[in-house]
Structure 1
Amino acid sequence: MKAVLQRVAEARVDIAGDTVGAIGAGLLVLLCAERGDSDALADRLLTKLLKLRIFADEAGKMNRSVQDIGGGLLIVSQFTLAADVSGGNRPSFTAAAAPDEGRRLYELFVAKARAVHPAVATGVFAADMQVHLVNDGPVTIPLSFS
């Protein structure tokens, strides 16, 4: 399972001009389920991103988590994180989970996040989305568990 975390001042997801999910300060989570990923990997990834200390404390050091600051999570499915470009110029996405399994793991991840974090917004799985964000820092962190 892969994710790219972006520390944001604000972020939103639009579909056909309508906002379907938005947060203020927090984390934009671009999430990809890969073949062979498990529920346990989803748990591990969620635990890590909730505790990752990438927000400034009073001294300006990255020492606080999204939970510490009461920030939001905007979770967006993004199978393209599984891209393999080693074979040429057209990416291969064979490492991505099959659509039904990808949806199941994405929805599981979102449900688990909502169970433990008070502010969770989402995009729509497999939709054509426009993601708008103000990257704070900028701080962008890739996470990968297998």
Structure 2
Amino acid sequence: MASPDNRVHQSSASAGHAARGPVVWIITPHRTVHQRIERLLRPLPAEVVRRERVLEDPRGSARPKPRPQLVVLDVDEDMEQGARVIEALRRGRLDAPLIVLTRAFTRDFGARILSLGVRYYFSQDFCESEFREVVQSLLRLPASEV
């Protein structure tokens, strides 16, 4: 099932300009989740791009341009859809690390995303300092840049 709504939102500071550093792709239907993450990443030398939805065809829009160095995927409560999006990203040969955000977490979902190569997940009400440390590590940024 492909979503017809595939809009891309770039942070206002980077819209229309060349990437100012690593590209971080945020996949979420929730504006508040996007705004919170964007606020946390604003001090970083990174371009934040938001996608509300992703087509499941990895040959289509699941291939971002420019390709991200990190993807933050908000699965909310739809674990099945979240796993399908991860699978589509992998089929599209997206090798960027993924951070999964979820409102609820189950052991089965954890095992499934682990088998898909996801090593980091957070609750939607995540600890900001811990999240920032993980992002810094995954983007390989020195501590002074965070």
Sort the TM-score into its range (normalised by shorter chain): 0.3 to 0.5
TM-score (norm: length of structure 1) = 0.34
Larger Rg: 1
The structure where helix makes up a greater share of residues is: 2
The structure where strand makes up a greater share of residues is: 1
